[in-house]
Structure 1
């Protein structure tokens, strides 16, 4: 059985931040900039606290069956909750979206590479 790769995006909003927490997030904003966003197994947090209270965690997970995506999404939500709670940040409206990359359509470059691989077989 082949391994499937899942991308999970967990979104929410900071809630009830103290002025100190807001300042701390603002100070750390460059390392959490959306332009540096990536999907990682640990989860990557991005936000723009100066503009709005929303955040996004991006997780990378895997499984063997299509149904494993549900467990991956649940793990990602729990990991995001744990990080936020550990750092003392209030949050609300936590929602996740998962994508099985084995089912994602290939772009033009991917189709070309797949066709080339088939031609050499």
Structure 2
């Protein structure tokens, strides 16, 4: 059985931040900018607190079966909650969305690369 890669997005809203917490988040905002968003095993946080109170965590996980995406999603939600709680940041309205990349349609470049690989493999036979 092959390994599946899952991308999990956990979204929510900061809630009841103190002025100090807000200042702390604003000071750290450049490292959490949307332009640097990426999916990582430990989770990558992005937000633009100056514009709105919403945040997004992006997690990368894997599993062997399609059902493993449920456990991966639960782990991502717990990790996001843990990160926020550990720092004392209030939050609300957490939602998550998960994608199994093995089921995602191939892009134009991926289809071209796959066709080239198949052609090379056919020439080797």
What TM-score results when the alignment is normalised by the length of structure 1? Answer: 0.99
Deviation, 1:13, is 0.2
Aligned counterpart, 1:22:
22
Deviation, 1:120, is 1.6
Aligned counterpart, 2:51:
51
Deviation, 1:119, is 1.2
SS in structure 2 at match of 1:120: helix
Root-mean-square deviation (Å) = 0.5
Deviation, 1:117, is 1.1
Aligned counterpart, 1:88:
88
Aligned counterpart, 1:78:
78
Instruction: Kindly provide the CA deviation profile for residues 2-52 of structure 1, in whole angstroms up to 9, marking residues without a partner as x.
Output: 000000000000000001100000000000000011000000000000000
| Whole-Å separation in 2 of the counterparts to 1:119 and 1:70 | 37
Deviation, 1:69, is 0.4
Instruction: Kindly provide the CA deviation profile for residues 42-66 of structure 1, in whole angstroms up to 9, marking residues without a partner as x.
Output: 0000000000000000000000000
**Structure 2 gaps, min length 5:** none
Deviation, 1:67, is 0.4
Aligned counterpart, 2:33:
33
SS in structure 1 at match of 2:55: strand
